[in-house]
Amino acid sequence: MADEINLDTGAALSFVAEGSSIRQQLKAAVQGKTMIMAETALREFERIVLTYGGPIEQARAARFLTRVTRVPDAPSARAQALRPTRNLEATDILILGTGDARGAVTLTTDRRAVSAARAQGVDFQVLLFISILLMGT
């Protein structure tokens, strides 16, 4: 859907990490859009926040998740044709491919996965951000 924006794990973590250098840019990028996350991205996000997040980040994550719509992993046919590599994991294919199938731009911090998919002939619609995360500070 054109009004949806798909968040990968790194983008979601950048929304909640204490001292995130790109939080305001991300907020501007999602303004007026429905934030969605594939099941795989949500599971990764929740595991990382519970394992490494401090109390402030865990509270911020809980608030953040009330604004995110969970969608089932349902990658596009062209994503399913991709082969996992060192830089393009099966989870990347599920997350990027789910956004692709829904016609949503994926907000991502994973330059390697985007480049690896492109090398295999699949150019996903993405907004790429660079982030340095410091969890639990």
* CA triple 94-58-43, angle to 5 deg: 20
Determine the pLDDT at residue 18: 86
Is position 133 within any domain? no
Phi first, then psi: give them for residue 121, nearest 5 degrees: 95, 10
Determine the pLDDT at residue 2: 62
Determine the pLDDT at residue 85: 98
Is position 42 within any domain? yes
Predicted confidence (pLDDT) at residue 137 exceeds the cutoff of 50: no
Is position 10 within any domain? yes
Is position 81 within any domain? yes
- The pLDDT tens digits for 50-79 are 999 999 999 999 999 999 999 999 999 999
Predicted confidence (pLDDT) at residue 130 exceeds the cutoff of 90: no
Distance in angstroms (rounded) separating the CA atoms of residues 59 and 101: 31
- Domain that residue 63 falls in: 4-128
- The pLDDT tens digits for 77-87 are 999 999 999 99
Side-chain-side CA neighbours of 30 within 13 Å: the count stands at 24
Determine the pLDDT at residue 21: 83
Is position 33 within any domain? yes
**Structurally, how many domains does the chain consist of?**
1
Is position 137 within any domain? no
Average of pLDDT values for 27-47? 97
Predicted confidence (pLDDT) at residue 103 exceeds the cutoff of 70: yes
Is position 116 within any domain? yes
Predicted confidence (pLDDT) at residue 134 exceeds the cutoff of 80: no
Is position 66 within any domain? yes
Phi first, then psi: give them for residue 12, nearest 5 degrees: -60, -40
Predicted confidence (pLDDT) at residue 1 exceeds the cutoff of 80: no
CATH number, domain at 30? Answer: 3.40.50.1010
